[in-house]
Amino acid sequence: MNRKQDIRERLTNARQRTLRMLDEIPPEFLTRRVHDFYSPVGWHFGHIARTEEYWVCRALRDPLRDEALGFLFADLPTNPKENRANLPLKEKIVDYMRDTREHSLRALEAQDLNVHDPLLADGFAWEFAFQHECQHQETITELQCLIQREIGPQERPEPHIWVQGIKPQMSDVVAGTFVMGTDWQHAYDNEKPAHEVTVAPFKIGRSPVTAFEWSEFIKDRGYETDSLWSENGRAWRDEEKATRPEYWHVDDGGHFIYGPTGLRAIHPDEPVASVSWHEAQAFAQWRGARLPTEEERELIAHGASPRTVAPREGPDPVSATDGVGELLACIWEWTCSPFMPYHGFEAFPYDGYSLTHMDGRHYVCRGGSWATSAPILRPTFRNWYLPGYRQGFLGLRLAADN
Ligand code: AVJ
Ligand code: FE
């Protein structure tokens, strides 16, 4: 299939899903901020359109066609999240999405992609817009969960019985040299360049830490045991009054969590989610283990079969398989590595994508979650958050020295 046709189809498929997601949002929530960290969910739909329009226009050296909407839907410090609640009506957002997409596809049709300009070569601007749309679909899923939490339980789901969970096991990984990162033109700047890395032997969890394992940490007073927490971790815990993963609802009958369509029972073997880096660190301490480095996490992911899995309603329980599994599309896994540039990194297409976050304060997450769109699941993909962040589908996998 030719490249333009391929881009067109992928953009069109992504957009079908985005529009389906928009229709699932209760209209009264489109302009409402349900959490301090987030813009109102309606903003994300315009932002997807604006980002595509912006990069296509930049590539063509054309001005933005609608400066006002271009600003409203920009993720800029001059446009703080409080401003982003003044949104146009849903129909106008949908019009903007349609109009910018039509313009983008017309421009794609007319453009020769066999050129040297890095914004145009092989359709970079369109590919960037596509991957960006996929990423915001996951943010929208996070917001769907938060919206369900605001709405509250419609009915009490049948709880799972939490008697025991799968036995956590570790696999030995031999020392090895592998190619970390990629030179693929359409990878994000932070994944480049490809470079050789040598890793000492280590042990790695065969699956991410499960909800049941986390419940044992709680029972063993892990949250109250100061020696398990770093100084910053303790400060965070006290400030947040954290006693369990933020989105857990526990009553005497069971464990529940809000998914994108409402409250659901937590399966004991599903990966624990919505834990911060501080909590993940304390848990690893409690188990006498540590978080993997991102080098270790990428090394094991290169062995993973590149399954393409569609996003689901929630995580599947992990299985006690031989070898290391659940490497992609299960849960984002915290690593102990700060988000920093690889040697030879060049910010592209703008500093704000990666560089401004490479401040030593953010930590890398790897793997992708059940809510990550399949086209952006890859072993080299780096996600990052501040250590106190626990919204989103974030869990962990343990590692240890060998
Ligand atoms: C990589 C998920 C931290 O959502 O802030 C979306 C991705 N960058 N639009 C974010 C991103 C620009 C980013 N994360
Ligand atoms: Fe964005």
pLDDT tens string 311-320: 888 989 998 6
Distance in Å, CA 225 to ligand 2 centroid? 38
pLDDT of the residue at 143: 98
CA–centroid distance, 258 to ligand 2, in Å, is 24
pLDDT at 123: 98
> Which residue's alpha carbon is nearest to atom 7 within ligand 1?
135
Residue 199, SS3 per DSSP: strand
Distance 132 CA to ligand 1 centre (A): 8
Tell me which residue of 137, 144, 104, 97 sits closest to 17, measured CA to CA. Answer: 137
In short, whether 384's Cβ falls inside 6 Å of ligand 1 is: yes
The per-residue pLDDT of the chain, averaged, comes to: 95
Is the pLDDT confidence value at 351 over 90?
Answer: yes
Q: Where are the beta strands (DSSP E) in 165-215?
A: 170-173, 176-180, 195-199, 202-205
Predicted pLDDT of residue 310: 80
pLDDT of the residue at 385: 98
383 lines ligand 1 (CB under 6 A): yes
Residue 235's H or E segment, with its range, is: helix 231-240
Residue 323's pLDDT is what? 83
Kindly state the percentage of the chain with pLDDT values over 70. 98
Helix pair angle (277-286, 211-219), 10° resolution: 70
Rg (CA), the chain: 21
Name the residue of 135, 383, 384 whose CB sits within 8 Å of the most ligand 1 atoms, as the mutation to test its pocket. 135
Residue nearest (by alpha carbon) to ligand 1 atom 9: 132
Give the model's pLDDT for residue 322.
73
Q: Evaluate: CB of 135 within 6 angstroms of ligand 1.
A: yes
Distance CA 330, CA 273 (A): 10
Q: Determine which of 39-53, 136-150, 158-172, 376-390 has the lowest per-residue pLDDT on average.
A: 158-172
State in Å: Cα 373 to ligand 1 middle.
14
pLDDT in tens, 229-238: 999 999 999 9
Average pLDDT over residues 155-159: 91
CB 384 within 8 A of CB 189: no
What is the 8-class DSSP label of residue 167?
Answer: P
Which residue in this structure is represented by tokens 């601007």?
A: 125
Is the distance from CB of 35 to CB of 154 less than 8 angstroms?
no
pLDDT tens-digit profile of 20-61?
Answer: 999 999 999 999 999 999 999 999 999 999 999 999 999 999
* Of 220, 136, 133, 210, nearest in space to 169 by CA: 210
> 217 falls in which pLDDT band (50, 70, 90)?
very high
Ligand 1 lined by 131 (C-beta under 6 Å): no
Percent of the chain scored above 90 by pLDDT?
A: 89
pTM: 0.97
Please state the rounded mean pLDDT for residues 259-287: 97
Are 395 and 275 contacting, i.e. CB atoms less than 8 angstroms apart? Answer: yes
Residue 51 CB less than 6 A away from ligand 1: no
Check pLDDT > 70 for residue 307. Answer: no
For residues 166-188, average pLDDT = 95
Q: pLDDT value at position 321?
A: 67
pLDDT at 1 (0 to 100): 63
Nearest residue by C-alpha to atom 14 in ligand 1: 383
| Separation of CA 24 and ligand 1 centre (Å) | 22
What is the CA(218)–ligand 2 centre distance, in A?
35
Q: In the prediction, which pLDDT does 227 show?
A: 98
